[in-house]
């Protein structure tokens, strides 16, 4: 039943409160099942596509720049949670940070065109389909009809939109080639398709914040000097024209006018300079002249195969037209992720929020408040529970006595049998909570329904301690069936491992009440977990997405005083310059890894902490160093900070902390004050353990931690 009609009927017949609660629950949570496969003419009416085409033509005629925005909109929607129209959602009092607010979505436009099309087509056509159809038509118009492809329909609109997810998944303009390649591979797109889709940068504009690194004097991605000079001058001019310190510049030098091209030394041979705003292969001409805005464009030249593709598409415009069409068709088929879908009444808000703004505000608000009370009450039933449960210390005191004692006993015995399990349990908390919140999604094994859970992620290579979690779960199920979540077990176990490995120095109360998630994807782990090769800027950005400060980044990095790592995780350090790594330590690592080029088939394990290496080997490689650190193997302490200041740490991401004034200051502080680090590390782990699942997520209490119920 239509929600609006139901509300009116409820008001007329004055349903009793109990009936209203039951009916409201049924209506408010009713949503479409998972999105249908996009294929064919879902709506059975050619007039729908004709309407889209006419509106797009009209919009581009009125504002030529909106065409590029519509093409970009397809990528920015489909790349985040699949093609589900989530990029269109505005913020509400209930969701204040949607994809539109993402830093990677700065300058995103074309929403008014989508709105105009939606108003013509009505409630039957999804916004997700409109985005894809409009992007296809804009491509055709801007290419003069050379780029055409069929677009299947039948997508549904998602109900979740997160700025953090967009910033985590969308490729950044500062990515290097390896990051770009991995990012596209995570979506099932090839290196060739990366080069093809980058050609869309022949149109549109970009803000200074997206390419200011290319104008820096000491840039690591050299830009043609004459182009850089002309661009820098125009940026200053545009600041005044656009009244902002972050002005937009045209992506394509072809569109900058003859005066600019002359100042920039542009060789226009093979480029139709009169085709301003055209979607064509001019991008490849520009890139091979090193006259492109983004680092992520320039880096395509650094790989042999990608550079060859650049040259091929520069020389063969028709081939690029055909291949771009095929890549866009593939992009538009990225399946929507999640469990709840609908066909929105208006593209800027979900159907539930649509009615909040109508004349039924007071009634719907009353219904929502009543529903909230009931849902909280029902959360006791695990199968019906959602992600939002209040965490509190001593959560199981009345429902399962001695939970934390049982956990501690098994953890301590496991570490006594294998001390390395302790570091594994501490790492497990971070690798679980930093992806989708603390939901035990890292524990799920692959299945026929999910062949690529978080465990399969490269970021989770060598993850340990899951057998300890399984043993704890078995003991608790025997004591209190269907009561204690796997997510809570991970948090308790990490606390107990920290306490044992620090000899009581690190201890803190752990709240309970988490639920186990039902979603686990390797690509999420790859997107959210910090890269061991990241620089300080990337690390700070990654931690800020989870609301952690620079200080907390430094604090949590101290966990690298324990545990082991694979050589492929720090391969770049094996050839790093002396200014970044102690030469003796580098030589020690090279000997441990069997050379400077570890591979997946020759991937040795090395201890994180030089303190835990063979003393004689360290003395030979680094005379005088061994005596500077506490000799207690796998001891969770502040030795990491001593090692870092001596440039004797495994990961580039560790050394990178020394490159920023604030971060380096904290490294020095914790090297001097072990007690302070113990306290601050405990506080940071408590904060980490409170990271919640994404809004709208469903949860359960698993019977077995490695599988859904």
- Is it the case that residue 629 has pLDDT exceeding 90? no
Tell me the three-class secondary structure of 372-395, residue by residue. Answer: HHHHHHHCCCHHHCECCCCCEECC
CB count, 10 Å around CB of 674?
16
Average pLDDT of the segment spanning 145-153? 91
Domains of the chain: 177-331 (1.10.420.10), 392-525+692-700 (1.10.520.10), 547-681 (1.10.420.10)
Q: Residues near 18 by Cβ (< 8 Å), separated by ≥ 6?
A: none
- Is it the case that residue 36 has pLDDT exceeding 80? no
- Residue-wise pLDDT tens digits, 42-62: 565 568 899 999 999 999 998
- For residue 699, give the DSSP letter: E
- Residue-wise pLDDT tens digits, 673-691: 999 999 999 999 999 999 9
44 labeled binding residue: no
Q: Residue 599 — very low, low, confident or very high, per pLDDT cuts 50/70/90? A: confident
Average pLDDT of the segment spanning 189-211? 94
Average pLDDT of the segment spanning 609-616? 88
- Is it the case that residue 5 has pLDDT exceeding 50? no
Phi, psi of 245 (to 5 degrees): -85, -5
Q: Residue 130 — very low, low, confident or very high, per pLDDT cuts 50/70/90? A: very high
CB count, 10 Å around CB of 611?
26
- Is it the case that residue 635 has pLDDT exceeding 80? yes
Q: Apex CA 71: angle with CA 70 and CA 72, to 5°? A: 90
Percentage of residues in the chain having pLDDT higher than 90: 67
Q: Which of 14-18, 117-121, 353-357 is modeled with the greatest confidence?
A: 117-121
Beta-bridge partners for 342: 157
- Residue-wise pLDDT tens digits, 533-573: 999 999 999 999 999 999 999 999 999 999 999 998 999 99
Q: Residue 378 — very low, low, confident or very high, per pLDDT cuts 50/70/90? A: very low
441 labeled binding residue: yes
Average of per-residue pLDDT values in the chain: 86
435 labeled binding residue: yes
Q: Residue 370 — very low, low, confident or very high, per pLDDT cuts 50/70/90? A: very low
285 labeled binding residue: no
Q: Residues near 215 by Cβ (< 8 Å), separated by ≥ 6?
A: 223, 228, 231, 232, 235
Q: CB–CB of 32/168 below 8 Å?
A: no
335 labeled binding residue: no
pTM exceeds 0.85, yes or no: no
Average pLDDT of the segment spanning 126-139? 95
- Is it the case that residue 382 has pLDDT exceeding 60? no
pLDDT of residue 286: 94
Question: 37 or 222: whose pLDDT is higher?
Answer: 222
Percentage of residues in the chain having pLDDT higher than 70: 86
Weakest-pLDDT range from 88-97, 355-364, 477-486, 614-623: 355-364
* Whole-number Å distance between alpha carbons of 472 and 161: 36
- Is it the case that residue 272 has pLDDT exceeding 60? yes
* Whole-number Å distance between alpha carbons of 454 and 442: 5
Average pLDDT of the segment spanning 365-393? 51
Question: 198 or 698: whose pLDDT is higher?
Answer: 198
Q: Apex CA 349: angle with CA 345 and CA 351, to 5°? A: 50
pLDDT of residue 285: 94
Question: 451 or 516: whose pLDDT is higher?
Answer: 516
Q: CB–CB of 203/72 below 8 Å?
A: no
637 labeled binding residue: yes
* Whole-number Å distance between alpha carbons of 422 and 330: 45
Q: Residues near 26 by Cβ (< 8 Å), separated by ≥ 6?
A: none
560 labeled binding residue: yes
- Is it the case that residue 406 has pLDDT exceeding 90? yes
* Whole-number Å distance between alpha carbons of 89 and 96: 10
Q: CB–CB of 469/486 below 8 Å?
A: yes
Q: Residues near 148 by Cβ (< 8 Å), separated by ≥ 6?
A: 136, 140, 325
552 labeled binding residue: no
- Is it the case that residue 610 has pLDDT exceeding 50? yes
Catalytic residues: 431
CB count, 10 Å around CB of 390?
9
Query: Which among 257, 300, 255, 295 is positioned nearest to 276, based on CA atoms?
Result: 255
Question: 71 or 103: whose pLDDT is higher?
Answer: 71
Q: Residue 164 — very low, low, confident or very high, per pLDDT cuts 50/70/90? A: confident
Q: Residue 347 — very low, low, confident or very high, per pLDDT cuts 50/70/90? A: very high
90 labeled binding residue: no
pLDDT of residue 451: 87
Beta-bridge partners for 607: 564
pLDDT of residue 243: 79
Beta-bridge partners for 516: 700
Q: Residue 447 — very low, low, confident or very high, per pLDDT cuts 50/70/90? A: confident
207 labeled binding residue: no
Q: Residue 244 — very low, low, confident or very high, per pLDDT cuts 50/70/90? A: confident
């Amino acid at each position: 039943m239509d929600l609006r009609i139901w509300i009116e009927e409820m008001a007329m017949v004055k349903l009793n409160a109990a009936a209203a609660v039951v009916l409201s629950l049924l209506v408010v949570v009713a949503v479409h099942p998972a999105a249908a496969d996009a294929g064919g003419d879902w709506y059975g009416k050619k007039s729908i596509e004709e309407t889209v085409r006419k509106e797009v033509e009209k919009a581009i005629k009125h504002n030529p720049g909106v065409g590029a925005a519509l093409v970009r909109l397809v990528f920015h929607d489909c790349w985040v949670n699949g093609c589900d129209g989530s990029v269109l959602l505005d913020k509400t009092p209930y969701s204040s940070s949607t994809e539109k607010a993402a830093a990677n979505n700065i300058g995103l436009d074309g929403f008014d065109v989508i709105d105009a099309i939606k108003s013509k087509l009505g409630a039957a056509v999804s916004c997700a389909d409109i985005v894809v159809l409009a992007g296809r038509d804009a491509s055709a118009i801007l290419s003069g009809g050379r780029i055409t492809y069929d677009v299947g329909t039948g997508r549904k609109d998602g109900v979740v939109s997160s700025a953090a997810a967009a910033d985590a998944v969308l490729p950044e303009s500062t990515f290097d080639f390896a990051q770009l390649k991995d990012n596209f591979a995570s979506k099932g797109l090839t290196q060739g398709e990366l080069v093809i889709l980058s050609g869309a940068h022949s149109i549109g504009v970009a803000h200074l914040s997206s390419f200011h690194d290319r104008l820096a004097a000491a840039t690591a991605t050299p830009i043609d000097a004459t182009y850089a000079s002309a661009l820098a001058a125009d940026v200053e001019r545009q600041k005044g024209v656009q009244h902002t310190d972050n002005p937009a510049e045209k992506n394509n030098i072809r569109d900058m006018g003859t005066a600019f091209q002359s100042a920039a030394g542009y060789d226009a041979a093979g480029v139709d300079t009169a085709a301003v705003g055209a979607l064509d292969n001019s991008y490849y001409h520009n890139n091979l002249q090193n006259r492109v805005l983004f680092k992520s464009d320039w880096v395509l030249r650094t790989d042999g195969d990608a550079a060859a593709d650049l040259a091929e598409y520069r020389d063969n415009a028709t081939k690029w037209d055909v291949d771009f069409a095929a890549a866009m068709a593939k992009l538009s088929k990225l399946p929507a992720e999640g469990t709840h879908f609908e066909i929105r009444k208006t593209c800027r808000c979900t159907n539930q929020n649509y009615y909040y703004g109508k004349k039924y505000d007071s009634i719907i608000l009353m219904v929502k408040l009543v529903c909230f009370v009931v849902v909280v009450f029902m959360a006791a039933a695990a199968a019906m529970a959602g992600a939002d449960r209040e965490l509190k210390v001593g959560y199981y005191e009345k429902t399962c006595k001695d939970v934390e004692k049982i956990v501690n006993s098994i953890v301590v015995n496991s570490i006594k049998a294998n001390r390395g399990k302790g570091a594994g349990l501490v790492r497990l908390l971070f690798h679980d909570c930093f992806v989708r919140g603390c939901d035990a999604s890292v524990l799920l094994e692959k299945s026929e329904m999910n062949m690529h859970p978080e465990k399969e992620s490269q970021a989770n290579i060598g993850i340990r301690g899951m057998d300890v979690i399984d043993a704890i779960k078995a003991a608790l199920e025997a004591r209190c069936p269907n009561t204690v979540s796997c997510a809570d077990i991970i948090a308790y176990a990490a606390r107990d491992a920290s306490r044992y490995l620090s000899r009581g120095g690190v201890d803190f109360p752990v709240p309970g009440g988490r639920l186990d998630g039902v979603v686990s994807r390797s690509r999420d782990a790859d997107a959210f977990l910090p890269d061991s090769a990241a620089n300080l800027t990337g690390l700070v950005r990654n931690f800020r997405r989870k609301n952690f400060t620079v200080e907390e980044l430094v604090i949590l990095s101290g966990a690298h005083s324990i545990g082991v790592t694979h050589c492929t995780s720090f391969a770049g350090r094996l050839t790093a310059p002396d200014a970044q790594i102690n030469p003796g330590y580098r030589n020690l690592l090279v000997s441990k890894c069997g050379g400077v080029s570890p591979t997946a088939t020759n991937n040795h394990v090395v201890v994180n902490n030089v303190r835990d290496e063979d003393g004689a080997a360290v003395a030979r490689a680094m005379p005088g160093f061994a005596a500077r650190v506490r000799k207690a193997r796998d001891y969770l302490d502040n030795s990491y900070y001593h090692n870092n200041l001596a440039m004797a740490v495994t990961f580039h991401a560790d050394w990178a902390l020394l490159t920023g004034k604030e971060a380096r200051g904290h490294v020095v502080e914790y090297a001097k004050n072990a007690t302070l680090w113990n306290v601050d590390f405990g506080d940071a782990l408590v904060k980490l353990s409170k990271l919640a699942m994404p809004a709208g997520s469903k949860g359960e209490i698993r019977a077995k931690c490695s599988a859904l119920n």
